[in-house]
A and B are shown apart, each in its own frame.
Chain A
Protein backbone atom coordinates (compact mmCIF):
# COMPACT_ATOMS: atom_id res chain seq x y z
CA UNK A 1 0.00 0.00 0.00
CA UNK A 2 1.79 3.13 -1.19
CA UNK A 3 1.30 6.52 0.38
CA UNK A 4 0.85 9.35 -2.12
CA UNK A 5 -1.03 12.41 -0.92
CA UNK A 6 -1.27 16.13 -1.58
CA UNK A 7 -2.31 18.58 1.12
CA UNK A 8 -3.54 22.10 0.45
CA UNK A 9 -3.00 24.68 1.80
CA UNK A 10 0.37 23.79 3.28
CA UNK A 11 0.29 26.71 5.66
CA UNK A 12 -2.38 29.02 7.04
CA UNK A 13 -1.45 32.33 8.66
CA UNK A 14 -3.97 34.60 10.34
CA UNK A 15 -4.66 36.99 13.20
CA UNK A 16 -7.38 36.36 15.71
CA UNK A 17 -8.93 38.36 18.54
CA UNK A 18 -9.28 36.53 21.86
CA UNK A 19 -12.77 35.06 22.06
CA UNK A 20 -13.10 34.72 18.27
CA UNK A 21 -13.29 31.50 16.31
CA UNK A 22 -11.48 30.74 13.07
CA UNK A 23 -12.48 28.20 10.44
CA UNK A 24 -10.19 26.92 7.70
CA UNK A 25 -10.68 24.15 5.15
CA UNK A 26 -7.84 21.81 4.19
CA UNK A 27 -7.99 19.46 1.21
CA UNK A 28 -6.20 16.11 1.25
CA UNK A 29 -6.00 14.21 -2.04
CA UNK A 30 -5.14 10.53 -2.33
CA UNK A 31 -3.07 10.37 -5.54
CA UNK A 32 -2.45 6.63 -5.24
CA UNK A 33 -4.45 3.72 -6.63
CA UNK A 34 -5.10 2.25 -3.19
CA UNK A 35 -7.55 3.25 -0.49
CA UNK A 36 -5.97 5.01 2.47
CA UNK A 37 -7.15 4.90 6.06
CA UNK A 38 -6.20 8.10 7.87
CA UNK A 39 -6.80 10.04 11.03
CA UNK A 40 -6.27 13.67 11.99
CA UNK A 41 -4.38 15.28 14.85
CA UNK A 42 -3.25 18.76 15.85
CA UNK A 43 0.19 19.15 17.47
CA UNK A 44 2.02 22.25 18.62
CA UNK A 45 5.53 23.06 17.42
CA UNK A 46 8.27 25.54 18.14
CA UNK A 47 10.87 27.04 15.80
CA UNK A 48 14.06 24.96 15.76
CA UNK A 49 16.37 27.53 14.18
CA UNK A 50 16.23 30.68 12.05
CA UNK A 51 15.80 28.85 8.73
CA UNK A 52 12.20 27.67 9.10
CA UNK A 53 12.68 24.22 10.65
CA UNK A 54 10.25 23.15 13.35
CA UNK A 55 10.45 20.74 16.26
CA UNK A 56 7.61 18.98 18.03
CA UNK A 57 7.42 18.54 21.75
CA UNK A 58 4.82 16.04 22.90
CA UNK A 59 5.07 17.30 26.45
CA UNK A 60 3.83 20.83 25.93
CA UNK A 61 0.73 21.36 28.08
CA UNK A 62 -2.56 22.01 26.29
CA UNK A 63 -3.62 25.65 26.24
CA UNK A 64 -6.95 25.88 28.11
CA UNK A 65 -7.88 28.96 26.06
CA UNK A 66 -7.58 27.20 22.70
CA UNK A 67 -9.46 24.23 21.31
CA UNK A 68 -9.51 22.49 17.94
CA UNK A 69 -12.48 20.67 16.43
CA UNK A 70 -13.58 19.65 12.95
CA UNK A 71 -16.67 21.26 11.48
CA UNK A 72 -17.29 18.24 9.22
CA UNK A 73 -20.61 16.57 9.92
CA UNK A 74 -19.14 13.10 9.33
CA UNK A 75 -15.76 13.38 11.02
CA UNK A 76 -14.30 14.29 14.39
CA UNK A 77 -10.71 15.22 15.16
CA UNK A 78 -8.76 12.00 15.73
CA UNK A 79 -11.42 9.80 14.13
CA UNK A 80 -10.42 7.37 11.36
CA UNK A 81 -11.67 7.98 7.84
CA UNK A 82 -11.32 6.29 4.46
CA UNK A 83 -9.94 8.13 1.45
CA UNK A 84 -10.55 6.21 -1.79
CA UNK A 85 -8.02 6.36 -4.66
CA UNK A 86 -7.86 9.64 -6.61
CA UNK A 87 -10.35 11.34 -4.27
CA UNK A 88 -10.11 14.47 -2.14
CA UNK A 89 -11.38 14.91 1.39
CA UNK A 90 -12.07 18.37 2.69
CA UNK A 91 -11.43 18.74 6.41
CA UNK A 92 -12.78 21.91 8.00
CA UNK A 93 -10.78 22.85 11.08
CA UNK A 94 -12.32 25.14 13.67
CA UNK A 95 -10.13 26.96 16.17
CA UNK A 96 -12.03 28.21 19.16
CA UNK A 97 -10.47 30.73 21.54
CA UNK A 98 -11.54 32.22 24.83
CA UNK A 99 -11.29 35.88 25.79
CA UNK A 100 -8.40 34.96 28.11
CA UNK A 101 -6.10 33.92 25.26
CA UNK A 102 -2.80 35.76 25.73
CA UNK A 103 -1.58 38.10 23.00
CA UNK A 104 1.18 36.61 20.83
CA UNK A 105 1.90 33.84 18.36
CA UNK A 106 0.68 30.22 18.37
CA UNK A 107 2.10 27.47 16.18
CA UNK A 108 0.37 24.18 15.37
CA UNK A 109 0.34 21.53 12.64
CA UNK A 110 -2.73 19.71 11.38
CA UNK A 111 -1.55 16.15 10.70
CA UNK A 112 -3.09 13.46 8.53
CA UNK A 113 -1.71 10.14 9.79
CA UNK A 114 -1.81 6.92 7.83
CA UNK A 115 -3.41 4.04 9.73
CA UNK A 116 -2.01 0.76 8.41
CA UNK A 117 -0.66 -2.61 9.47
CA UNK A 118 2.34 -2.03 7.16
CA UNK A 119 5.73 -1.52 8.78
CA UNK A 120 6.46 1.81 7.12
CA UNK A 121 3.83 4.52 7.21
CA UNK A 122 3.57 8.24 6.68
CA UNK A 123 2.03 11.41 7.98
CA UNK A 124 1.74 14.76 6.26
CA UNK A 125 1.04 18.08 7.91
CA UNK A 126 0.00 21.68 7.25
CA UNK A 127 1.10 24.48 9.56
CA UNK A 128 -1.18 26.90 11.38
CA UNK A 129 0.55 30.11 12.35
CA UNK A 130 -1.70 32.56 14.11
CA UNK A 131 -1.38 35.47 16.45
CA UNK A 132 -3.71 36.67 19.15
CA UNK A 133 -4.12 40.43 18.80
CA UNK A 134 -6.22 43.21 20.28
CA UNK A 135 -6.42 45.02 16.97
CA UNK A 136 -5.98 43.34 13.59
CA UNK A 137 -4.22 46.37 12.07
CA UNK A 138 -1.07 45.78 14.07
CA UNK A 139 2.17 47.70 13.61
CA UNK A 140 5.15 45.74 12.33
CA UNK A 141 8.33 46.05 14.36
CA UNK A 142 11.32 44.26 12.85
CA UNK A 143 14.89 45.14 11.99
CA UNK A 144 18.01 43.67 10.48
CA UNK A 145 19.95 42.55 13.53
CA UNK A 146 22.93 41.06 11.67
CA UNK A 147 24.41 42.06 8.34
CA UNK A 148 27.89 40.60 7.92
CA UNK A 149 30.18 39.23 5.26
CA UNK A 150 32.54 36.28 5.15
CA UNK A 151 35.39 35.49 4.74
CA UNK A 152 37.28 38.21 6.59
CA UNK A 153 40.02 38.44 3.90
CA UNK A 154 38.25 38.93 0.59
CA UNK A 155 40.28 37.80 -2.38
CA UNK A 156 38.95 38.57 -5.85
CA UNK A 157 39.85 35.11 -7.17
CA UNK A 158 39.56 32.60 -4.34
CA UNK A 159 36.20 32.39 -2.56
CA UNK A 160 32.81 34.03 -3.07
CA UNK A 161 31.74 36.66 -0.57
CA UNK A 162 28.79 35.44 1.44
CA UNK A 163 26.34 37.78 3.14
CA UNK A 164 24.61 36.84 6.37
CA UNK A 165 21.39 38.84 6.73
CA UNK A 166 19.33 38.16 9.85
CA UNK A 167 15.94 39.80 10.44
CA UNK A 168 14.76 40.17 14.02
CA UNK A 169 11.13 40.61 15.02
CA UNK A 170 10.72 42.82 18.09
CA UNK A 171 6.97 42.32 18.09
CA UNK A 172 5.21 39.29 19.62
CA UNK A 173 3.27 38.89 16.34
CA UNK A 174 4.50 37.15 13.20
CA UNK A 175 5.05 39.07 9.99
CA UNK A 176 6.65 38.62 6.56
CA UNK A 177 10.13 39.83 5.80
CA UNK A 178 10.70 41.79 2.62
CA UNK A 179 13.54 43.56 0.91
CA UNK A 180 15.91 44.08 -1.96
CA UNK A 181 19.59 43.24 -1.60
CA UNK A 182 22.05 45.06 -3.85
CA UNK A 183 25.83 44.98 -4.21
CA UNK A 184 27.39 48.14 -5.71
CA UNK A 185 30.82 49.36 -6.75
CA UNK A 186 31.50 53.01 -7.66
CA UNK A 187 27.73 53.67 -7.31
CA UNK A 188 26.98 51.08 -9.99
CA UNK A 189 24.75 48.15 -9.00
CA UNK A 190 26.54 44.97 -10.02
CA UNK A 191 24.17 42.43 -8.42
CA UNK A 192 20.56 42.68 -7.29
CA UNK A 193 18.53 40.10 -5.36
CA UNK A 194 15.00 39.97 -4.00
CA UNK A 195 14.78 38.65 -0.46
CA UNK A 196 12.35 35.74 -0.19
CA UNK A 197 9.27 36.90 1.80
CA UNK A 198 9.61 34.28 4.54
CA UNK A 199 7.56 34.28 7.71
CA UNK A 200 9.26 35.98 10.65
CA UNK A 201 7.78 34.63 13.87
CA UNK A 202 7.03 36.85 16.86
CA UNK A 203 10.11 37.70 18.98
CA UNK A 204 12.20 35.52 16.70
CA UNK A 205 14.87 35.77 14.01
CA UNK A 206 14.97 34.64 10.38
CA UNK A 207 17.93 34.26 8.07
CA UNK A 208 17.22 35.90 4.71
CA UNK A 209 17.54 33.88 1.51
CA UNK A 210 17.90 35.49 -1.89
CA UNK A 211 15.99 35.03 -5.13
CA UNK A 212 17.90 35.64 -8.31
CA UNK A 213 15.35 37.85 -10.08
CA UNK A 214 17.41 37.96 -13.26
CA UNK A 215 17.13 34.20 -13.81
CA UNK A 216 13.59 33.06 -12.96
CA UNK A 217 12.49 30.07 -15.04
CA UNK A 218 9.48 29.05 -12.99
CA UNK A 219 7.44 31.42 -10.85
CA UNK A 220 6.15 28.68 -8.55
CA UNK A 221 9.56 27.08 -8.02
CA UNK A 222 11.89 30.09 -7.98
CA UNK A 223 15.63 29.62 -7.90
CA UNK A 224 16.92 30.39 -4.45
CA UNK A 225 20.59 31.29 -4.42
CA UNK A 226 23.06 32.18 -1.69
CA UNK A 227 23.15 35.92 -0.95
CA UNK A 228 26.69 36.17 -2.32
CA UNK A 229 29.08 37.75 -4.78
CA UNK A 230 30.74 35.12 -6.95
CA UNK A 231 34.40 35.25 -8.00
CA UNK A 232 36.10 36.70 -9.95
CA UNK A 233 35.33 40.38 -9.33
CA UNK A 234 37.23 43.65 -9.57
CA UNK A 235 39.35 44.82 -6.61
CA UNK A 236 38.28 47.86 -4.62
CA UNK A 237 35.58 49.09 -2.26
CA UNK A 238 32.07 47.68 -2.47
CA UNK A 239 28.79 48.57 -0.79
CA UNK A 240 26.13 46.01 0.10
CA UNK A 241 22.69 47.36 0.89
CA UNK A 242 19.39 45.90 2.08
CA UNK A 243 16.32 48.04 1.47
CA UNK A 244 13.10 46.94 3.13
CA UNK A 245 9.67 48.29 3.91
CA UNK A 246 8.38 48.66 7.47
CA UNK A 247 4.91 50.10 8.07
CA UNK A 248 5.06 51.77 4.63
CA UNK A 249 8.41 53.39 5.46
CA UNK A 250 11.51 52.48 3.49
CA UNK A 251 14.50 51.46 5.60
CA UNK A 252 18.03 50.75 4.47
CA UNK A 253 21.04 49.11 6.02
CA UNK A 254 24.46 49.20 4.38
CA UNK A 255 27.90 47.71 4.86
CA UNK A 256 31.17 48.29 2.96
CA UNK A 257 34.01 45.94 2.28
CA UNK A 258 37.31 45.87 0.42
CA UNK A 259 38.54 43.25 -2.01
CA UNK A 260 42.06 42.74 -3.28
CA UNK A 261 44.01 40.05 -5.20
CA UNK A 262 45.91 39.03 -2.05
CA UNK A 263 46.81 35.55 -3.31
CA UNK A 264 48.10 36.87 -6.63
CA UNK A 265 50.20 39.58 -4.95
CA UNK A 266 51.63 37.08 -2.45
CA UNK A 267 52.41 34.71 -5.30
CA UNK A 268 54.22 37.48 -7.25
CA UNK A 269 56.22 38.51 -4.15
CA UNK A 270 57.18 34.89 -3.44
CA UNK A 271 58.13 34.36 -7.08
CA UNK A 272 60.23 37.56 -7.13
CA UNK A 273 62.09 36.58 -3.96
CA UNK A 274 62.72 33.07 -5.29
CA UNK A 275 63.97 34.32 -8.64
CA UNK A 276 66.16 36.91 -6.98
CA UNK A 277 67.71 34.28 -4.75
CA UNK A 278 68.32 31.98 -7.70
CA UNK A 279 69.69 34.59 -10.10
CA UNK A 280 71.92 36.61 -7.72
CA UNK A 281 75.63 35.55 -8.22
CA UNK A 282 77.06 33.82 -5.21
CA UNK A 283 80.14 35.51 -3.79
CA UNK A 284 82.64 33.01 -2.50
CA UNK A 285 85.59 33.85 -0.42
CA UNK A 286 88.78 32.53 -1.93
CA UNK A 287 91.24 30.97 0.42
CA UNK A 288 94.87 30.14 -0.48
Chain B
Protein backbone atom coordinates (compact mmCIF):
# COMPACT_ATOMS: atom_id res chain seq x y z
CA UNK B 1 0.00 0.00 0.00
CA UNK B 2 2.86 2.32 0.94
CA UNK B 3 4.69 1.66 -2.32
CA UNK B 4 1.46 2.29 -4.28
CA UNK B 5 1.04 5.71 -2.62
CA UNK B 6 4.67 6.46 -3.32
CA UNK B 7 4.22 5.64 -7.03
CA UNK B 8 1.11 7.86 -7.24
CA UNK B 9 2.98 10.78 -5.63
CA UNK B 10 5.97 10.20 -7.93
CA UNK B 11 3.65 10.14 -10.98
CA UNK B 12 1.96 13.43 -9.94
CA UNK B 13 5.36 14.99 -9.32
CA UNK B 14 6.60 13.97 -12.79
CA UNK B 15 3.43 15.34 -14.43
CA UNK B 16 3.89 18.66 -12.57
CA UNK B 17 7.54 18.79 -13.62
CA UNK B 18 6.55 18.20 -17.26
CA UNK B 19 3.86 20.92 -17.09
CA UNK B 20 6.41 23.31 -15.56
CA UNK B 21 8.90 22.55 -18.37
CA UNK B 22 6.35 23.10 -21.14
CA UNK B 23 5.50 26.49 -19.64
CA UNK B 24 9.14 27.57 -19.94
CA UNK B 25 9.66 26.73 -23.60
CA UNK B 26 7.76 26.42 -26.90
CA UNK B 27 8.25 24.19 -29.90
CA UNK B 28 7.13 24.79 -33.49
CA UNK B 29 7.25 21.77 -35.80
CA UNK B 30 6.89 20.93 -39.46
CA UNK B 31 7.74 17.71 -41.34
CA UNK B 32 11.34 18.83 -41.82
CA UNK B 33 12.06 21.30 -39.02
CA UNK B 34 11.69 21.73 -35.29
CA UNK B 35 12.18 25.16 -33.76
CA UNK B 36 12.60 25.43 -30.00
CA UNK B 37 11.78 28.82 -28.49
CA UNK B 38 12.96 29.88 -25.07
CA UNK B 39 9.83 31.99 -24.70
CA UNK B 40 7.27 33.69 -26.92
CA UNK B 41 6.75 37.35 -26.16
CA UNK B 42 3.20 38.56 -26.70
CA UNK B 43 4.01 42.23 -26.94
CA UNK B 44 6.66 44.75 -26.02
CA UNK B 45 7.14 48.45 -26.48
CA UNK B 46 6.94 51.85 -24.89
CA UNK B 47 3.84 53.37 -23.34
CA UNK B 48 3.77 57.05 -22.49
CA UNK B 49 1.63 59.43 -20.50
CA UNK B 50 2.31 63.02 -19.53
CA UNK B 51 4.38 62.11 -16.52
CA UNK B 52 5.46 58.51 -17.10
CA UNK B 53 7.18 56.33 -19.69
CA UNK B 54 6.86 52.53 -19.45
CA UNK B 55 9.07 50.06 -21.32
CA UNK B 56 7.62 46.55 -21.10
CA UNK B 57 7.75 42.97 -22.38
CA UNK B 58 4.79 40.59 -21.96
CA UNK B 59 5.48 36.84 -22.10
CA UNK B 60 9.16 37.07 -21.18
CA UNK B 61 10.47 34.30 -18.93
CA UNK B 62 12.31 35.69 -15.92
CA UNK B 63 12.24 39.34 -16.97
CA UNK B 64 14.22 41.93 -15.06
CA UNK B 65 17.66 43.18 -14.29
CA UNK B 66 20.08 40.81 -12.60
CA UNK B 67 23.39 41.98 -11.21
CA UNK B 68 26.46 40.19 -10.00
CA UNK B 69 29.41 42.57 -9.74
CA UNK B 70 30.77 43.51 -12.22
CA UNK B 71 28.07 42.19 -14.61
CA UNK B 72 24.49 43.29 -15.33
CA UNK B 73 22.00 41.08 -17.20
CA UNK B 74 18.89 42.80 -18.55
CA UNK B 75 16.32 40.18 -19.56
CA UNK B 76 13.44 41.33 -21.76
CA UNK B 77 12.92 43.52 -24.80
CA UNK B 78 12.05 46.51 -22.61
CA UNK B 79 15.77 47.18 -22.18
CA UNK B 80 16.44 47.79 -25.88
CA UNK B 81 14.68 51.14 -25.65
CA UNK B 82 17.15 52.76 -23.31
CA UNK B 83 20.24 54.53 -24.55
CA UNK B 84 22.43 52.74 -22.04
CA UNK B 85 24.92 51.47 -24.56
CA UNK B 86 24.36 53.69 -27.59
CA UNK B 87 26.96 56.02 -29.02
CA UNK B 88 26.02 58.80 -31.46
CA UNK B 89 28.09 61.16 -33.56
CA UNK B 90 26.86 63.91 -35.87
CA UNK B 91 28.52 66.37 -38.23
CA UNK B 92 25.82 69.02 -38.43
CA UNK B 93 26.25 70.20 -41.97
CA UNK B 94 24.24 69.19 -44.99
CA UNK B 95 27.15 70.07 -47.23
CA UNK B 96 30.44 68.77 -45.87
CA UNK B 97 32.42 70.56 -48.59
CA UNK B 98 33.83 73.40 -46.50
CA UNK B 99 34.36 76.39 -48.81
CA UNK B 100 36.93 78.94 -47.69
CA UNK B 101 36.27 81.08 -50.78
CA UNK B 102 38.76 83.26 -52.64
CA UNK B 103 41.86 83.98 -50.60
CA UNK B 104 43.72 87.29 -50.35
CA UNK B 105 47.23 87.44 -48.92
CA UNK B 106 47.33 88.64 -45.32
CA UNK B 107 43.58 88.29 -44.81
CA UNK B 108 42.70 85.20 -42.82
CA UNK B 109 39.56 83.40 -44.04
CA UNK B 110 37.51 81.12 -41.80
CA UNK B 111 34.63 78.69 -42.23
CA UNK B 112 32.82 76.67 -39.56
CA UNK B 113 30.48 73.76 -38.90
CA UNK B 114 29.24 71.97 -35.79
CA UNK B 115 29.69 68.45 -34.44
CA UNK B 116 27.53 66.73 -31.81
CA UNK B 117 28.07 63.67 -29.61
CA UNK B 118 26.19 61.46 -27.13
CA UNK B 119 28.03 58.76 -25.22
CA UNK B 120 26.59 55.78 -23.36
CA UNK B 121 26.16 55.35 -19.63
CA UNK B 122 29.44 54.54 -18.00
CA UNK B 123 31.60 56.00 -20.74
CA UNK B 124 32.94 59.34 -21.79
CA UNK B 125 34.13 59.97 -25.34
CA UNK B 126 37.00 61.28 -27.41
CA UNK B 127 36.79 62.92 -30.83
CA UNK B 128 39.94 62.96 -32.92
CA UNK B 129 40.76 64.70 -36.19
CA UNK B 130 43.37 64.49 -38.93
CA UNK B 131 43.91 65.76 -42.47
CA UNK B 132 44.55 63.44 -45.39
CA UNK B 133 47.25 65.82 -46.69
CA UNK B 134 47.98 69.59 -46.50
CA UNK B 135 45.83 71.98 -48.54
CA UNK B 136 47.16 71.40 -52.04
CA UNK B 137 46.46 71.90 -55.72
CA UNK B 138 46.15 69.03 -58.15
CA UNK B 139 49.79 69.53 -59.18
CA UNK B 140 50.94 69.32 -55.58
CA UNK B 141 51.53 72.99 -54.62
CA UNK B 142 50.68 73.24 -50.93
CA UNK B 143 49.59 75.81 -48.38
CA UNK B 144 51.69 74.85 -45.35
CA UNK B 145 50.12 74.05 -42.01
CA UNK B 146 50.10 76.97 -39.58
CA UNK B 147 52.66 77.34 -36.81
CA UNK B 148 50.57 80.24 -35.37
CA UNK B 149 51.92 83.68 -34.43
CA UNK B 150 55.64 84.30 -34.07
CA UNK B 151 56.45 83.80 -30.40
CA UNK B 152 53.45 81.57 -29.66
CA UNK B 153 54.26 78.49 -31.68
CA UNK B 154 51.58 75.82 -32.04
CA UNK B 155 51.84 72.18 -33.11
CA UNK B 156 49.43 69.32 -33.83
CA UNK B 157 49.12 68.74 -30.05
CA UNK B 158 49.35 72.31 -28.67
CA UNK B 159 47.32 75.38 -29.54
CA UNK B 160 48.49 78.98 -29.63
CA UNK B 161 47.31 82.43 -30.67
CA UNK B 162 46.98 83.00 -34.39
CA UNK B 163 45.82 86.55 -35.08
CA UNK B 164 48.73 88.11 -36.98
CA UNK B 165 48.07 88.87 -40.64
CA UNK B 166 51.68 87.95 -41.43
CA UNK B 167 51.44 84.43 -39.97
CA UNK B 168 50.49 82.14 -42.82
CA UNK B 169 49.12 78.64 -43.14
CA UNK B 170 46.11 76.38 -42.52
CA UNK B 171 44.75 75.38 -39.11
CA UNK B 172 41.65 74.87 -37.01
CA UNK B 173 39.95 75.66 -33.72
CA UNK B 174 37.31 73.69 -31.76
CA UNK B 175 35.13 75.28 -29.08
CA UNK B 176 32.33 73.63 -27.11
CA UNK B 177 28.97 75.34 -27.58
CA UNK B 178 25.49 74.94 -26.11
CA UNK B 179 22.26 74.26 -28.01
CA UNK B 180 22.04 77.97 -28.87
CA UNK B 181 25.63 78.02 -30.23
CA UNK B 182 26.88 80.07 -27.26
CA UNK B 183 30.47 79.13 -26.48
CA UNK B 184 30.85 77.22 -23.18
CA UNK B 185 34.06 75.35 -24.08
CA UNK B 186 32.70 72.13 -22.55
CA UNK B 187 34.83 69.22 -23.77
CA UNK B 188 37.29 71.43 -25.67
CA UNK B 189 38.86 73.62 -22.95
CA UNK B 190 41.84 71.24 -22.62
CA UNK B 191 42.68 71.78 -26.27
CA UNK B 192 41.63 75.35 -27.18
CA UNK B 193 41.14 78.10 -24.58
CA UNK B 194 39.43 80.65 -26.86
CA UNK B 195 38.52 81.49 -30.45
CA UNK B 196 41.97 82.93 -31.24
CA UNK B 197 43.72 79.64 -30.46
CA UNK B 198 44.55 77.44 -33.43
CA UNK B 199 46.68 74.44 -34.27
CA UNK B 200 47.43 72.48 -37.45
CA UNK B 201 45.75 69.15 -38.19
CA UNK B 202 47.71 65.94 -37.77
CA UNK B 203 48.86 65.01 -41.26
CA UNK B 204 48.38 61.45 -42.50
CA UNK B 205 50.50 62.04 -45.62
CA UNK B 206 53.81 62.38 -43.76
CA UNK B 207 56.14 59.44 -43.39
CA UNK B 208 55.42 58.14 -40.80
CA UNK B 209 51.87 59.53 -40.59
CA UNK B 210 51.25 61.88 -37.66
CA UNK B 211 49.06 60.49 -34.86
CA UNK B 212 45.38 61.39 -34.86
CA UNK B 213 44.89 64.14 -32.25
CA UNK B 214 42.07 64.49 -29.72
CA UNK B 215 40.15 67.75 -30.22
CA UNK B 216 37.28 67.16 -27.77
CA UNK B 217 36.75 64.73 -24.88
CA UNK B 218 34.95 64.20 -21.59
CA UNK B 219 35.24 61.54 -18.89
CA UNK B 220 31.52 61.23 -18.26
CA UNK B 221 28.44 60.10 -20.21
CA UNK B 222 27.03 63.03 -22.18
CA UNK B 223 23.95 63.83 -24.20
CA UNK B 224 24.09 66.08 -27.28
CA UNK B 225 27.32 67.88 -26.47
CA UNK B 226 28.28 70.15 -29.36
CA UNK B 227 31.38 71.93 -30.63
CA UNK B 228 32.03 74.51 -33.33
CA UNK B 229 34.88 73.58 -35.66
CA UNK B 230 36.48 76.58 -37.37
CA UNK B 231 38.93 76.19 -40.25
CA UNK B 232 41.29 79.12 -40.95
CA UNK B 233 43.64 79.82 -43.82
CA UNK B 234 45.92 82.81 -44.43
CA UNK B 235 48.17 82.85 -47.49
CA UNK B 236 51.47 84.63 -48.08
CA UNK B 237 51.98 87.06 -50.99
CA UNK B 238 54.07 84.41 -52.77
CA UNK B 239 51.36 81.73 -52.66
CA UNK B 240 50.59 80.46 -56.17
CA UNK B 241 47.01 80.89 -57.33
CA UNK B 242 44.87 77.81 -57.81
CA UNK B 243 42.29 75.58 -56.14
CA UNK B 244 43.56 74.05 -52.93
CA UNK B 245 41.81 71.25 -51.12
CA UNK B 246 42.23 68.52 -48.52
CA UNK B 247 40.09 66.02 -46.60
CA UNK B 248 39.46 66.18 -42.85
CA UNK B 249 38.45 63.02 -40.98
CA UNK B 250 36.71 63.17 -37.59
CA UNK B 251 36.85 59.99 -35.51
CA UNK B 252 34.53 59.46 -32.54
CA UNK B 253 35.08 56.61 -30.08
CA UNK B 254 33.94 56.05 -26.49
CA UNK B 255 36.40 56.14 -23.63
CA UNK B 256 36.76 52.60 -22.34
- Interface residues of A, Cβ cutoff 8 Å to B: 1-11, 31, 34, 47, 51-59, 107, 109, 111, 116, 118-127, 129, 175-176, 178, 196-199, 201, 209, 219-224, 245
CA distance A48 to B34 in the complex (A): 51
Chain A residues near B208 (CB-CB < 8 A):
59
- Known pairs A10-B119, A176-B70, A222-B121; A201 contacts B89 (CB<8 A): no
From residue A9, how far is it (CB to closest CB) to chain B in Å?
A: 4
Does B87 contact A120, Cβ atoms closer than 8 Å?
Answer: no
- Of all chain B residues, the one with the shortest Cβ separation from A27 is B86
Does B219 contact A123, Cβ atoms closer than 8 Å?
Answer: no
Does B221 contact A122, Cβ atoms closer than 8 Å?
Answer: no
CA distance A10 to B245 in the complex (A): 33
From residue B134, how far is it (CB to closest CB) to chain A in Å?
A: 13
28 A-B pairs with C-beta separation under 8 A:
A1-B94, A2-B94, A3-B89, A3-B90, A10-B85, A10-B86, A10-B123, A11-B123, A31-B88, A51-B255, A52-B123, A56-B211, A59-B208, A119-B246, A119-B248, A120-B97, A120-B248, A121-B96, A122-B91, A122-B249, A124-B252, A127-B253, A129-B256, A176-B70, A196-B122, A220-B221, A221-B222, A221-B223
Q: Number of contacting residues on B, CB 8 A?
A: 50
- B218-247 CB mask vs A (1 if < 8 Å, else 0) is 011111000000000000000000000111
Q: Which of A118, A199, A209 contacts B220 (CB 8 A)?
A: A209
| B residues 78-126 touching A (CB-CB < 8 Å) | 82-98, 113, 119-124, 126
Chain B residues near A221 (CB-CB < 8 A):
121, 221-223
Q: Chain B at the A interface: mostly helix, strand, loop or mixed?
A: loop
Q: Which 5 A-B pairs have the closest CB atoms?
A: A176-B70, A52-B255, A118-B96, A10-B87, A224-B220
Chain B residues near A34 (CB-CB < 8 A):
94
Q: Which of B89, B121, B214, B246 contacts A220 (CB 8 A)?
A: B121
Counted as pairs of residues, one from A and one from B, with CB atoms less than 8 Å apart, the total is: 156
- Of all chain A residues, the one with the shortest Cβ separation from B214 is A53
- Of all chain B residues, the one with the shortest Cβ separation from A12 is B85
CA distance A198 to B214 in the complex (A): 21
Chain A residues near B92 (CB-CB < 8 A):
2, 4
Chain B residues near A59 (CB-CB < 8 A):
208
* Residue B209 interfacial (CB < 8 Å): yes
Does B247 contact A124, Cβ atoms closer than 8 Å?
Answer: no
- Of all chain A residues, the one with the shortest Cβ separation from B249 is A121
From residue A272, how far is it (CB to closest CB) to chain B in Å?
A: 42
CA distance A223 to B221 in the complex (A): 9
From residue B70, how far is it (CB to closest CB) to chain A in Å?
A: 3
Chain B residues near A58 (CB-CB < 8 A):
209
- Of all chain B residues, the one with the shortest Cβ separation from A123 is B251
- Of all chain A residues, the one with the shortest Cβ separation from B204 is A58
- Of all chain A residues, the one with the shortest Cβ separation from B129 is A120
Q: Which of A9, A125, A175 contacts B251 (CB 8 A)?
A: A125
Among B126, B208, B217, B255, chain A packs the most CB atoms within 10 A around the CB of B255
Does B221 contact A1, Cβ atoms closer than 8 Å?
Answer: no
Q: Which of A6, A9, A120 contacts B113 (CB 8 A)?
A: A120
* Residue B250 interfacial (CB < 8 Å): yes
- Known pairs A123-B251, A201-B256; A222 contacts B70 (CB<8 A): no
Does A199 contact B253, Cβ atoms closer than 8 Å?
Answer: no
Q: Which of B83, B93, B120 contacts A2 (CB 8 A)?
A: B93
Chain A residues near B161 (CB-CB < 8 A):
none
Does B250 contact A120, Cβ atoms closer than 8 Å?
Answer: yes
* Residue B69 interfacial (CB < 8 Å): yes
- Known pairs A120-B98, A121-B247; A109 contacts B253 (CB<8 A): yes
- Of all chain B residues, the one with the shortest Cβ separation from A218 is B223
* Residue B212 interfacial (CB < 8 Å): yes
Does A220 contact B83, Cβ atoms closer than 8 Å?
Answer: yes
From residue A255, how far is it (CB to closest CB) to chain B in Å?
A: 23
Does A6 contact B88, Cβ atoms closer than 8 Å?
Answer: yes
CA distance A201 to B256 in the complex (A): 9
From residue B226, how far is it (CB to closest CB) to chain A in Å?
A: 13
Q: Which of A3, A56, A123, A197 contacts B70 (CB 8 A)?
A: A197
Does B251 contact A3, Cβ atoms closer than 8 Å?
Answer: no
